[in-house]
Amino acid sequence: MINCIAIDDEPLALKQMVNYIQKTPFLSLQGQFESALKALSILENQKIDLIFIDINMPDLSGMDFVKSLSKPPGIIFTTAYSEYAIEGFKVDAIDYLLKPIAYSDFLRAAEKAKDRMQPKEKSAQINSDDEFLFIKSEHKILRIKLQDIKYIEGMREYVRIHLDTQAPIMSLMSMKKLESFLPEDSFMRVHRSFIVNLEKINTVERSRIVFDKNIYIPISDQYKAKFQLFLNKNFLI
């Protein structure tokens, strides 16, 4: 795990960064601060591997704060001002994120930090039977009932498994590998980034599968013919 802190004088931006950190499996949030000065004590008393820090802050800017550290941890700058990018890389920052920050960009930067700080982890391992998936991720083995899976979302090197019974689970593995372990009569890939549980589909609208009120899974052209065969097989005229 990578121990990290977040520093930003804007409460909403800080809240977003904290949320991103908390849903990234290999990051462990050790503190959140609205000023760089308030973060000094944790750096002196605890091992911090990575700092997500805004640049343009009152009293002490993120850039000046990093320059003041004798042995700075890994740094990922976050800012609304693109003109700071060159200066950021001069202090050997791992990455530079321009606000507003999408989670995909955050995850890319976090993975870059992980590659620099830790040896490459083994991909998640899967064991399965007819009713369960056993997924090895990080240092845990999680048992997931197939019937509880609603859909699976691909995110670069990770997958996020959305469940009926609990919060989504992220794991380091490829969509292709996970797809090969799922029973074809119950699960279908409908997009490069999505696999759906066919038994959970209640509504199809405009080439999209509708889960709940605001979750829409696109059906791409590559998989549309196969999905149409599934619909035709079960369509009552």
Number of domains in the chain: 2
The answer on 133 and 103 residing in a single domain is no
The answer on 132 and 100 residing in a single domain is no
The answer on 106 and 6 residing in a single domain is yes
d(CA 83, CA 31): 28
- Angle 114-73-55 (CA atoms, 0-180°, nearest 5)? 100
Residue 12 belongs to domain with CATH number: 3.40.50.2300
The answer on 129 and 75 residing in a single domain is no
Domain residue limits at 86: 2-117
Q: Which of 94, 117, 140 is the last residue of a domain?
A: 117
Residue 164 belongs to domain with CATH number: 2.40.50.1020
* pLDDT tens, residue by residue, 32-88: 999 999 999 999 899 999 999 998 888 788 888 988 988 889 999 988 876 655 555
* pLDDT tens, residue by residue, 84-132: 555 555 567 888 888 899 999 999 999 889 888 865 444 455 555 558 8
* pLDDT tens, residue by residue, 182-209: 888 899 999 999 999 999 998 998 889 9
